Amino acid sequence: MKYTKLVAQLFLFLILLNACKDSGTGGTEDEVLEPSLRNSPTYPVGYAIQRQHLNNRSYIDLLREQSSSISAEYEMKMSPMYNDPNAINYDVVDEIVDFAELSEIRVHGHALLWHSAVPSWIQNYNGTDAEFESIIENYVKDVVGRYKGRIASWDVVNEAFDDGAGNPLRNSVFRQKMGDDYIEKVFRWAREADPDVLLFYNDYNMVANGSKLEKVIAMADDFLERGVPIDGIGFQMHISYDWPSETDIISATNKVTSRGLKIHYSELDIRVNPNATATSYNAELAQRLVNRSTFIFNLYKSLPEETQFGITWWGVKDNDSWLRDFWENPNEWPLLFNDDFEPKDAVPAIIDIFE
């Protein structure tokens, strides 16, 4: 296994070295940078990536030109990393972090604890609760500690709150075996492992589901009051061109930034064909993406600088998007680049905001 890892890393290094040489990066200080989604925005703009694409030169070139931050769409979750109770598998995460460092791109870790990404041996753990808690503590400290100084931030806990207005917490295996205060425990463990890493709570429908947002804000206020380490909130932002309303997005965002917390639009995709009426990408859909994405990027630009963590698209190219499977609608084009790695109209429109 070690040999194949070495070969994979060498291969990736050579591709990147070649990319650096050709693209002339690392130029002199006074060189004028080409307008791009990496160079123009006043805050980090990134994408969820998949390791399998890092062997594709067009994919790498696009990230190096258009990205200043990446999240792993899957590979940094507990289920792929900790399937073997005897060892955490860091091979793929090492390759992603190596790529990011070579490309001078920030890495946002997603996600330490998520109820939908739990290895079966942990989900069905039949030891004591104390033993379970110690396994989770060791995992969190081992992972965050390993990438100290290399991974800038983590979604420490993802989607812990119930969608319903009733009981706040999902009844996940973490809550069942570690208690209602498991979120606090994990944030504290992550801080112990890396004093400088930024720690986020991440969730979906934070704009549209007022009661969920209320619960998250109440937790954040409690953490801030008691000195539990937390740096920001991630709004996943799986939105449509016409939902949620601009007013609701502004109001929900301000609930976070008014507390001095960072906000990360952490999984942005914009459904432009939610009713599946269109069967091909056309000028109307393109304009929908332009209008919505420029609203989002202008709003984010207006936030207090210290609360701007960045905007991360949940994928690079339209055919990468999870939405096509989730909504069983192949006719959805929610991202910034088409299947041939070409920028859609929204890319220059967003860049123009900052030029």
Residues that bind ligand G3I (CB under 6 A): 73-74, 77, 117, 158, 204, 236, 267, 322
Q: How many CB atoms neighbour CB 294 within 10 A?
A: 15
Minimum gap (Å) between residue 236 Cβ and ligand G3I: 5
Residue 136 tokens, joined? 């989770």
Which residues, 6+ apart, have CB-to-CB distance to 31 below 8 Å? none
Instruction: Answer whether the bond into residue 111 is a cis peptide, omega within 30°.
Output: yes
Of 206, 197, 190, the C-alpha closest to 157 is 190
**Which is catalytic among the residues 73, 75, 95, 159?**
159
Q: How many CB atoms neighbour CB 162 within 10 A?
A: 17
In the bound state, the residue with its beta carbon closest to ligand G3I is: 322
Name which of 36 and 155 has its Cβ closer to ligand G3I: 155
Containing 184, the helix (H) or strand (E) segment is: helix 182-193
Could you tell me the sign of the dihedral formed by the alpha carbons of 35, 36, 37, 38, in that order? negative
Pair 8, 95: CB distance under 8 Å: yes
Name which of 158 and 209 has its Cβ closer to ligand G3I: 158
Q: How many CB atoms neighbour CB 44 within 10 A?
A: 21
Minimum gap (Å) between residue 23 Cβ and ligand G3I: 28
**Residue 267 is a catalytic residue:** yes
DSSP summary character for residue 342 = P
d(CA 96, CA 59): 13
Name which of 295 and 322 has its Cβ closer to ligand G3I: 322
**Residue 159 is a catalytic residue:** yes
Of 215, 217, 318, 310, the C-alpha closest to 259 is 217
Name which of 80 and 343 has its Cβ closer to ligand G3I: 80
Looking at this protein, which amino acid is placed at residue 46? G
Name which of 77 and 255 has its Cβ closer to ligand G3I: 77
**Which is catalytic among the residues 73, 75, 267, 332?**
267
Minimum gap (Å) between residue 301 Cβ and ligand G3I: 25
Residue 238 tokens, joined? 């799986």
DSSP conformation letters of 128-147: -HHHHHHHHHHHHHHHHHHT
Minimum gap (Å) between residue 94 Cβ and ligand G3I: 17
Cβ-in-10-Å burial (0-12, 13-18, 19+) of 111 comes to buried
Name which of 53 and 141 has its Cβ closer to ligand G3I: 53
- Active-site residue list: 159, 267
